[in-house]
Structure 1
Amino acid sequence: MTAMSREVVERLLRASRERDTETFVGLFAPDGYIEWPFRPAGVPGRVEGRDQLREFLTMQANGLVEFDEYRNTVIHETIDPQVVIVEYEAHGTVIPTGAPLHQTVIAVLRIRDGLVVSYRDYLNPLVLAEILADVGNV
């Protein structure tokens, strides 16, 4: 893994935690995407392109959870210098309910020329399903 790839991942995580949508989106290639292979019903499987990422983060994700910190963050090197695997625990609050949030995440990112071209987010879908159910009851 190149130092640039590690830096991109660190900046991406910081922007996510700080809810800095413009910095987060700016770290993606114009056609970059995030996908969630495991997710509850109603959550898109993939959001592609900067405009769609911005819209998704602004209209949906930013109103749902607020992250206070990421703990136990480990960034793994791979044989492919463009591929980075990161694992961490996200701690925060479910905004509509005020409930605490603890989510375990493993993500696989492909970074080319300093920009994220793909971000596969393997979050715990059970936690997300519970959040969505609780918010639906508010």
Structure 2
Amino acid sequence: MTISSRTVVEKVLRAGREVDIDTFVELMAPDGYIEWPYRPAGVPGRLRGRAEIRRHLTETAGTLVTFDEYRNLVLHETADPEVIIVEYEACGSVVATGRPFEQTVIAVIRVRNGQILSYRDYINPLPLVEALAGVSAAD
């Protein structure tokens, strides 16, 4: 039985929120990639392949912000059965200060044969830039 694109996307979102790096990476195709077209300084534009994605997540997950929940989550199935568009608000806190943190996310995810080929994450980088500026000012 083939797993639906929607189910794969639901699983990868849960793994990301729960910082379950193993599950997240297993859901990626061996040569799949994550891309951030809009990002703050220091965030790579693209990570390709499971090893590079695992390394990045292991080094960075949960170090700047943590997410407790995704609010107003909407998954849009498209005319292309491989493509899901996701909208949500990521809500959590800034690790260094404990202050609340919210970020709007739109992602376009392509899934084939139960694995993510591409995960284009169109985050709003401004809340992260502001949170990091607050951390620097507190030092």
Above 0.5 in TM-score?
A: yes
Q: Which runs of 4+ in 1 moved over 2 A?
A: 131-138
Residue matched to 2:97: 97
Q: Secondary structure in 2 aligned to 1:63?
A: coil
Taking a change above 3 Å as real, the CA distance of residues 135 and 46 of structure 1, as seen in their structure-2 partners, is farther
Q: What is the CA–CA distance in structure 2 between the aligned matches of 1:62 and 1:21, rounded to whole Å?
A: 11
Q: Which amino acid aligns with 2:19?
A: R
Structure 1, unmatched stretches of 5+, are none
CA contact (8 A) 1:39 1:128 kept: no
C-alpha displacement at 1:136, in angstroms?
3.5
Cα RMSD of the aligned pairs, angstroms, is 1.5
User: % of aligned pairs identical?
Assistant: 64
C-alpha displacement at 1:3, in angstroms?
6.3
- Taking the TM superposition and a 5 Å limit, the aligned residue runs for 1:115-134 are 115-134=115-134
CA contact (8 A) 1:40 1:128 kept: yes
Q: What is the CA–CA distance in structure 1 between the aligned matches of 2:45 and 2:105, rounded to whole Å?
A: 16
Pairing 1:46–2:46 present: yes
TM-score computed with the length of structure 2 as normaliser: 0.92
Residue matched to 1:23: 23
- Taking the TM superposition and a 5 Å limit, the aligned residue runs for 1:50-61 are 50-61=50-61
TM-score computed with the length of structure 1 as normaliser: 0.93
CA contact (8 A) 2:3 2:114 kept: no
